[in-house]
Structure 1
Amino acid sequence: MCASYGLDPRFSDQQLIEEADDELMEGIRAWARRNADETLRPTGRLLRNLNPILVPSESRTPQLEEAWWGFLVDGRPSRFPSINTRSERLQERPGSLRGRAIVPATRWFEMRKPSKTWHEFGLDGALFGMAAVTQRGRAEDGSWFTCYSIVMQPAPARLAGIHDRMPVLLPAAFAQDWLDGAPTRELMDDALLASADATQWVQTASMTASP
């Protein structure tokens, strides 16, 4: 599972989504600067570390929004695991694809078991987008948020020795399709096919400490 990731403000100007304009990209970079390259973690009951996501808008340019990582149920973080959603589940139940987002990142982290060694995954410092599903949720104080769950797929053989799952990475050319497409199994199938190209460029390195 992906339980933490990073967003370095020094990312390259590689496109996250073809429809992105300079304002949107600078918004992502400005948020990352304010976050001072801190590791992004799921939002907890007492931890309001809201993270940037791209959501659909009425125009072709997606909207940048700060969102709650993990689903809220009855005013509290869900008791069931919700920071990640399996791609297989979305293929079986495409109705869960009604709300979708793109999560900007420059790396993510996983622990290799049984050695308990942390590994960092990325695309050589480039900005990339992770597929996510969303739903609205209410916190205990009555505030409403967009909540998101990162979509995970089986890792390819060369990475599966470290961790058997990885995020669905969305190339820029497919990103708008992910945001605007109909919530069908075919959309999830197409996202997995599109992700295969980006996945082959993923690099990994071991870490001396947890992120």
Structure 2
Amino acid sequence: MCGRFAQYADPETLADHFGLATTAVDAQPRYNVAPTQPVLAVRLTEDQQHRECVNLRWGLVPFWSKVPDHRYSMINARAETVASKPAYRAAFAQRRCLIPADAFYEWQPGKDGKQPYAIRRKDQAPFAMAGLWEHWEGDDGAVIDSCTIIVTEANALLAAIHDRMPVILAPEDYGNWLGTGRTDRETDKALLQSLLKPADPSGWEAYPISRAVNRPANDSPNLIEPLVAEAP
């Protein structure tokens, strides 16, 4: 699963990388994004003509849920079943998004507890995790726009740390993933499904970091610094 990540690229970098029409992005550097918190997401505008960057609550609430119950607040969707699961299939068909990230974290079990690792591009460029978003409205007028991150099996770099990883899309696939309108045709579904695969490990790095990242309240650039081994 992917349960923590970092978003710290500046608005200009985000606008350039994701092809946004404006640099007016509400982007504050964040180094320890956790479930239920707002996250930046790129999606198509309502007229399907442009890309916009918005804040969505991390943990998808299906539109049909009676209440925003924690049982339906799902932070990850499995690539193998995302197109067919009732909680995700409507969003998969028509509400796909990109979740910008600069790094994500996974924990490797060990005899002294779980050791957190940061995973990022070697060139430290931002990247996009495949996501879905949903719009929920309550009887009392409450509105929640939420999202989930799609995960797949780990690649060779991650396999020794965790058995799953987020789906990371290549920039040339952003347009195909966002698409336009509904995606009900089997040919469209097949194209989307083909994108839900482990990322090529070349160009990526994974390194141990401080366990301070375990606490969601901790949020500073120090969290992504490589762990310095203590002298014997």
TM-score band, normalised by the shorter chain? Answer: 0.7 to 0.9
Q: 1:95 to 1:76 in 2, by over 3 A?
A: closer
Is 1:190 aligned to residue 201 of structure 2?
no
Q: What secondary structure is seen at the aligned counterpart in 1 of 2:107?
A: strand
Segments of 5+ residues of structure 1 without an aligned counterpart are: 44-48
Partner of 2:6: 6
1:38-187 → structure 2 map (5 Å cutoff): 38-43=31-36, 49-57=37-45, 58-72=47-61, 73-80=65-72, 82-92=74-84, 95-96=89-90, 97-98=92-93, 99-114=95-110, 115-124=113-122, 125-138=124-137, 142-180=141-179, 182-183=183-184, 184-187=188-191
**Residue 208 of structure 1: which of 199, 207, 210 is its match?**
210
Q: 1:80 deviation in Å?
A: 4.8
Greater Cα shift, 49-58 or 125-134: 49-58
Q: 1:90 to 1:204 in 2, by over 3 A?
A: same
Q: 1:149 deviation in Å?
A: 0.6
Bigger Rg, structure 1 or 2? 2
Q: Quote the Cα distance in structure 2 between the aligned partners of 1:154 and 1:3.
A: 15
Segments of 5+ residues of structure 2 without an aligned counterpart are: 214-232
Q: 1:162 deviation in Å?
A: 0.2
**Residue 37 of structure 1: which of 30, 39, 44 is its match?**
30
Scaled by the length of structure 1, the TM-score of the pair is 0.79
- Identify which of structures 1 and 2 has the higher relative contact order when contacts are C-alpha pairs closer than 8 Å and 6+ apart: 1
Q: 1:127 deviation in Å?
A: 0.8
Q: 1:27 to 1:126 in 2, by over 3 A?
A: farther
Q: Quote the Cα distance in structure 2 between the aligned partners of 1:189 and 1:200.
A: 22
Q: What secondary structure is seen at the aligned counterpart in 1 of 2:165?
A: strand
How many residue pairs are counted as aligned between the two chains? 196
Residue 71 of structure 1 aligns with an amino acid whose one-letter code is L
Residue 86 of structure 1 aligns with an amino acid whose one-letter code is R
Residue 203 of structure 1 aligns with an amino acid whose one-letter code is E
Q: CA RMSD in A?
A: 2.8
Q: Quote the Cα distance in structure 2 between the aligned partners of 1:65 and 1:139.
A: 21
Q: 1:113 to 1:12 in 2, by over 3 A?
A: farther
Contact conserved, 1:3 with 1:42, CA < 8 A, in 2?
A: yes
Is 1:16 aligned to residue 17 of structure 2?
yes
Q: 1:135 to 1:126 in 2, by over 3 A?
A: same
Contact conserved, 1:71 with 1:78, CA < 8 A, in 2?
A: no
Scaled by the length of structure 2, the TM-score of the pair is 0.73
